[in-house]
Structure 1
Amino acid sequence: MRRNYAIILQMAKDFEIIGEITNVETVAVGSSIRVIKRLRRFYGDGRWRKLKGVARVKLPDGTICKAEVHWYEMSRVGRKEFKIKRIL
């Protein structure tokens, strides 16, 4: 089972979110984000937040499943760099 899980996550680099993201929680804000310097360099200064939530996603092979997704967000720039953390 562990092996299949790793393969799904490797495939999930390119995925599509279907519908709304629910159960949204803030994970970190500002200097608490490990990659804050990179975010500011690529997208600009501002109040960056790292968030997580649950969404239905469509993987490149057409599989639709529920997953925990993480992303970064700033009000001026919007949501950036979505990634799947785990399949639920």
Structure 2
Amino acid sequence: MRFEIIGNIINIETIAVGSSIREVERLRKTYGSGRWRKLKGTGTIQLDDGTICEAELHWYEAHGIGKKEIKIKFILSE
């Protein structure tokens, strides 16, 4: 499902860092080495069909590389 983030992501929390991330080797091969972190937060998103809703988002991030692979985990409200 494709979506666009509208506004800022808030309530950001770190879920895992470095070797605690199951996919850290794949991330390093794909995007490069860095201090990888898995984060979660809530934000307003717009789905392909035009629906605007609040959702919990998860993503990977490393300094100098940025946010990668942002995923919707839960739709909180529509």
Give the TM-score range, shorter chain.
Answer: over 0.9
SS in 2 for 1:45: coil
Deviations 1:14-69 (A, max 9, x none): 11000000000000000000100100000111100000000000001000000000
Q: Which has the higher helix share?
A: 1
1:74 matched residue in structure 2:
62
Gaps of 5+ in 1: 1-12
TM-score of the superposed pair, with normalisation by structure 1: 0.85
Gaps of 5+ in 2: none
Q: Which has the higher strand share?
A: 2
Which of the two has higher C-alpha Rg? 1
Separation (CA, whole Å) in 2 of partners of 1:25 and 1:31: 17
1:48 aligns with 2:39: no
1:35 matched residue in structure 2:
23
The count of aligned residue pairs is 76
Runs of 4+ residues deviating >3 angstroms: none
Give RMSD over aligned pairs.
Answer: 0.5
**Which residue identity lines up with residue 63 of structure 1 in the other structure?**
T
